[in-house]
Amino acid sequence: MKSVFAGLLAVSVLVSNVFAAEAAPKRMEWVVDGVKREADVFAPSKSSSDPPPLVFGFHGHGGNMKNAARSFRLHELWPEAVVVYMQGLNTPGRLTDPEGKKPGWQSAVGEQGDRDLKFFDAVFASMKEQHKIDERRVYSTGHSNGGGFTYLLWAARDDVFAAMAPSAAAAGRVGKDLKPKPVMHVAGENDQLVKYSWQQLAMTQLRKLNDCGEGAPWGTNKNCTLYSSKSGNPVVTLIHPGTHKYPDEAPALIVKFFQEHRRPLPAASN
């Protein structure tokens, strides 16, 4: 009997190890302007007959790609997708860490020699080559400084993305360069770092940009509001009662939002 239990235990451990191995990311490296950059890449863990979507998740200032993977869980919630968590370099922060002792992302085009935009371009090219992604289904989300970088990517690489989902961030200087696009903005009413008033202004600007009407409930989550768009670029807000901390409810709602949007096909030429 002991041998039977031992056998079952061994099988259980083996199965657990197999699933753990399947869930493990691939650490990839790129050299950008002579500097080694890295990201954790999760290949699809569930097969599909369609080319996979591609989702980027950006950590906040002082964070890292592993923490982003644990917080965002995008690869778990959308197993058919390729999910990339990129790692920032030590970068001066606009609100904290002015000496740049912690990792983060550039906040405007031209800063830091555009090292993070160049890094993104290199990663995106690799994902297209290695995973044959669906280029109409590319998305970005990030929290705090990572949310700011999502806004920057929207401004600087608009033609790449189908939809965006910044959290605890404001568009800042890049807001004037945004073009209409589906967006979900996550904000805490008691955020004392990226002030809620700043984010309210950003959300108002997004609704104006996307030519949105009055708000209505979105799904069953009481914190979500949908602002339908005459141009087909809705704004969804997830306004929670918390602080700057990333809310537990956000990842599943962000994935749901992304799954509703594809980048439009180019207009047919005459």
CATH for 158: 3.40.50.1820
Number of domains forming the structure of the chain: 1
Q: What is the pLDDT of residue 207?
A: 97
Domain assignment present for residue 253? The answer is: yes
Domain assignment present for residue 227? The answer is: yes
Look up the pTM and report it. 0.90
Q: What is the pLDDT of residue 100?
A: 87
The domain in which residue 202 lies consists of 41-259
Q: What is the pLDDT of residues 71-107, one digit of tens each?
A: 999 999 999 999 999 999 999 887 888 888 999 999 9
Question: For residue 70, what are the contacts with CB-CB under 8 A and spacing of at least 6?
Answer: none
Domain assignment present for residue 223? The answer is: yes
Q: How many CB atoms lie within 10 A of CB 95?
A: 12
Q: How far apart are the first and last CA of the chain?
A: 77
Q: What is the pLDDT of residues 150-170, one digit of tens each?
A: 999 999 999 999 999 999 999
Domain assignment present for residue 151? The answer is: yes
Q: What is the pLDDT of residue 8?
A: 43
Q: What is the pLDDT of residue 96?
A: 86
Average pLDDT for 140-146: 98
Domain assignment present for residue 156? The answer is: yes
Q: What is the pLDDT of residues 179-205, one digit of tens each?
A: 999 999 999 999 999 999 999 999 999
Give the type of residue at 220: T
Domain assignment present for residue 243? The answer is: yes
Domain assignment present for residue 87? The answer is: yes
Residue 269, token pair as written in the block: 């030429």
C-alpha 228: how far from chain center: 22
The CA-based diameter of the chain, rounded to the nearest angstrom, is 77
Domain assignment present for residue 13? The answer is: no
Q: What is the pLDDT of residues 251-267, one digit of tens each?
A: 999 999 999 999 988 76
Handedness of CA 133, 137, 138, 142 (dihedral sign): negative
12: pLDDT strictly greater than 70: no
